[in-house]
């Protein structure tokens, strides 16, 4: 449960996913309050037929929650951008600005693509590329997959997360769900299950679409779920990746890709005492520059930081470094 607003509206991601059992006299009454984005009843305070007030474990008991900006004056962000800094283990929000505003995620989308793939596929399953891997908008980031190419899901996930390859995203989506549309439905189902109710995906890569959006807070929820997978954590920390897969004729193809994350590549420096473990970049004309990171402090405590819609890439990294500095404050 995310306690965001007292009202239940499009921002109402404070619902409960529970079945609470309350004792009433000698009998037992069950109150079922399934997680619903538009639930019209308070999900934390429940009154039973005997008028006894009870409380139930919240959906967000293990999550950071935030209902307004927190220290927005500390960091100078681009107009219209959003940012958040979340202490994963202590479940504390250290910084928040516009974290519930709907924004275009660009390739931050691929974190959800990886999550759905890891939930529904095995790393050794074989994927075969269709002609759709080439059916992308001009200038889209690709790693060069061709129709008929075959590789494991593990290999495709490396291309997806390290190189932000849109062709790999299509290959994964079709391999898991049969089509990108069906995969997008799986993405949206997963978003709702995580409480990311201000999110709607229409594709697995994040190329611009008016109906493809999320929020800083929802990206925190998605990233928080993804880091439960060791494979995801392993991949996002790699500065480069080399592998061999086969083409439609069975010939071997070797490919090396480099990480798009400047912190992982050593081209950007976090504040002292902060280690950037990895993350995901995103950039389109509509989304501007986006970045989500997993980092840790000198004690090993993990944090998730997000900036969306920075005006330029250089500003993005400058602002992210300032945001990470809040950990030490």
Average pLDDT of the segment spanning 286-309: 98
Average pLDDT of the segment spanning 33-42: 51
Where is pLDDT greater, at 197 or 42? 197
Average pLDDT of the segment spanning 273-289: 97
Cβ–Cβ < 8 Å for 170, 205:
yes
Q: With 60 as the cut, is the pLDDT of residue 229 above it?
A: yes
Instruction: Give the integer Cα–Cα distance in Å for 129 and 104.
Output: 27
Q: pLDDT digit string (tens) for 56-89?
A: 556 777 899 999 999 999 999 999 999 999 999 9
Residue 123 bears catalytic tag: no
Residue 213: phi and psi, rounded to 5, are -155, 165
- The per-residue DSSP string of 158-197 comes to HHHHHS--HHHHHHHHHHHHSSHHHHHHHHHHHHHHHT-T
Average pLDDT of the segment spanning 128-144: 95
Using DSSP, state whether 51 is helix, strand or coil: coil
What's the first-to-final CA gap in the chain, in angstroms?
28
Residue 240 CB neighbour total at 10 angstroms: 13
> How many Cα neighbours within 13 Å face the side chain of 209?
17
Average pLDDT of the segment spanning 42-53: 46
Residue 110 bears catalytic tag: yes
Q: With 90 as the cut, is the pLDDT of residue 18 above it?
A: no
Cβ–Cβ < 8 Å for 67, 38:
no
- What percentage of residues in the chain have a pLDDT greater than 90? 80
Q: pLDDT digit string (tens) for 75-127?
A: 999 999 999 999 999 999 999 999 999 999 999 999 999 999 999 999 999 99
| Per-residue pLDDT, 1 | 33
Domain boundaries 106-262, corresponding CATH code? 3.40.710.10
Q: Active site residue: 58, 81, 107, 283, which one?
A: 107
Q: Active site residue: 15, 58, 78, 164, which one?
A: 164
Burial 7-31 (b: 16+ CB within 10 A, else e): ebeebbbbbbebebebeeeeeeeee
Q: Which two tokens stand for residue 294?
A: 């997993």
Residue 102 bears catalytic tag: no
Cβ–Cβ < 8 Å for 194, 221:
yes
Query: In the chain, which residues fall in CATH 3.40.710.10?
Result: 106-262
CA-angle at 144, arms to 140 and 150, nearest 5°: 125
Average pLDDT of the segment spanning 198-223: 97
Residue 316: phi and psi, rounded to 5, are -55, -50
Instruction: Give the integer Cα–Cα distance in Å for 53 and 48.
Output: 7
Mean pLDDT for the chain? 87
């Amino acid at each position: 449960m995310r306690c965001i607003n007292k009202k239940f509206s499009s921002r109402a991601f404070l619902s409960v996913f529970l079945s609470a059992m309350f004792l009433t006299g000698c009998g037992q009454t069950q109150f079922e309050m399934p997680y619903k984005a538009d639930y019209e009843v308070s999900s934390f305070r429940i009154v039973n037929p005997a008028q006894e007030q009870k409380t139930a474990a919240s959906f967000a008991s293990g999550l950071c929650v935030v209902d307004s900006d927190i220290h927005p004056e500390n960091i100078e962000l681009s107009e219209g951008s959003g940012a958040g800094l979340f202490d994963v283990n202590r479940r504390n929000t250290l910084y928040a600005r516009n974290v519930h505003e709907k924004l275009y995620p660009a390739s931050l989308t691929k974190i959800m693509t990886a999550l759905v793939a890891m939930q529904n596929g095995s790393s050794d399953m074989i994927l075969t590329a269709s002609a759709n891997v080439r059916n992308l908008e001009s200038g889209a980031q690709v790693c060069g997959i061709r129709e008929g190419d075959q590789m494991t899901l593990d290999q495709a996930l490396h291309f997806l997360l390290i190189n932000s390859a849109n062709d790999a995203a299509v290959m994964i989506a079709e391999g898991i769900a049969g089509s990108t549309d069906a995969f997008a439905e799986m993405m949206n189902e997963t978003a709702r299950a995580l409480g990311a109710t201000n999110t709607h995906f229409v594709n697995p890569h994040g190329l611009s679409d008016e109906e493809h959006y999320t929020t800083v807070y929802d990206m925190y929820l998605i990233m928080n779920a993804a880091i439960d997978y060791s494979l995801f954590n392993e991949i996002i920390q790699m500065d480069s990746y080399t592998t061999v897969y086969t083409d439609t004729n069975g010939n071997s193809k070797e490919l090396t890709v480099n990480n798009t994350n400047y912190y992982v590549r050593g081209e950007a420096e976090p504040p002292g005492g902060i280690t950037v473990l990895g993350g995901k970049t995103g950039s389109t004309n509509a989304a501007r520059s986006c970045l989500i990171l997993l980092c840790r402090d000198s004690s090993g405590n993990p944090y998730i930081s997000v900036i969306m819609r920075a005006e330029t890439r250089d500003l993005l990294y400058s602002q992210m470094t300032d945001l990470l500095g809040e950990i030490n404050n």
